[in-house]
Structures are given as C-alpha cells and as structure tokens.
Amino acid sequence: MIHAILMFLENGTLLFDAYFEKFQMDSVLITGFTTAINQFGLKIFPEEDLDDIVFSKHHIFFQKFQIQGKAVIFLDVHDKNEDHFVLKRINQQIFWDLKQKYSDLFLNDLFEINQLLPLRTRVEAVFAMEHRNEKILKE
C-alpha cells in the first residue's frame, strides 16, 4: 500500500502532496528532513542519490526527475512489500503529466504551488489505471 506521494524541489520546497487512507504527516517537515539527509549523504557519497529510507514496516522511496533544469523529487511512503517498479511507473505517469501541463511554471524562480492542485485528479486517474485501491484523502 502507498500511504503518501510528495513532490518537492531539490532545495526542499514542497510542490504537491497526496495522502491516502488515514495516513497523515507534516509535508514541509518531511521534505526538509529528507533534503537535509540527501545533502548530508552527498557530502559522504558525492556520486550517489538518496534512493530509499527503510524502517521496519515502511519505506520512503525517492525518484528524481528534471523539468526546465530543476530537479523535482518524488517521495513515496509505502509498506515494505510494495514493488519499487510499480512506484517508478506511477511516478513516471504523474511526472509526464506534470511536465506536459506545467513545464512553463518551472521557468520562473517563484510560482504559486496552488497552480499544481489539479494534479490530484491526475494522481487519482493514475491510481485507477493501475487498479490501486488507495484513495486520496480530501482536504
């Protein structure tokens, strides 16, 4: 089961979050935390990206994409038995829509992230195409 999908810039700026079932966390806190861990890791292992944080029952999976020269990181919180191949496929489908419809936003240094809220509909559509049972919590 996937519990959450977050998208953020490499500097930790949250772009989008979607929570499933009754899973909640502070999106700004988690993106800041993972950005700090990634920066720390790059100091030790300069040639490697943060890929996965493993807890006993849950994992936090990362996948990086590029839009207009900016790194966009997808963070997926999921149960330990979730296949990373499936996560990559889901992230890729969401990313293609993000790039197709919102690429021009990333040309600016600042933009209103509320412009990305329609991605919720795309995430729901991707989950339906993948025959997933998770439902986005409505805010």
Per-residue pLDDT of the chain (139 residues; tens, 9 = 90+): 999 999 999 888 889 998 887 767 888 888 888 888 888 888 888 888 888 888 888 899 999 999 999 999 999 999 998 999 999 999 999 999 999 999 999 998 887 888 888 888 889 999 999 999 888 876 5
Q: Is residue 32 domain-resident? A: yes
Q: Is residue 105 domain-resident? A: yes
Q: Domain residues for 57?
A: 2-129
Count how many domains the chain has.
Answer: 1
Q: Is residue 48 domain-resident? A: yes
Q: Is residue 77 domain-resident? A: yes
Task: Look up the CATH number of the domain holding residue 48.
Answer: 3.30.450.70
Q: Is residue 14 domain-resident? A: yes
- The secondary structure of the chain, three-state, reads CEEEEEEEECCCCEEEEEEECCCCCCHHHHHHHHHHHHHHHHHHCCCCCCCEEECCCEEEEEEEEEECCEEEEEEEEEECCCCHHHHHHHHHHHHHHHHHHHHHHHHCCCCCHHHHCCHHHHHHHHHHHCCCCCCECCC
Q: Is residue 134 domain-resident? A: no
User: pTM value?
Assistant: 0.89
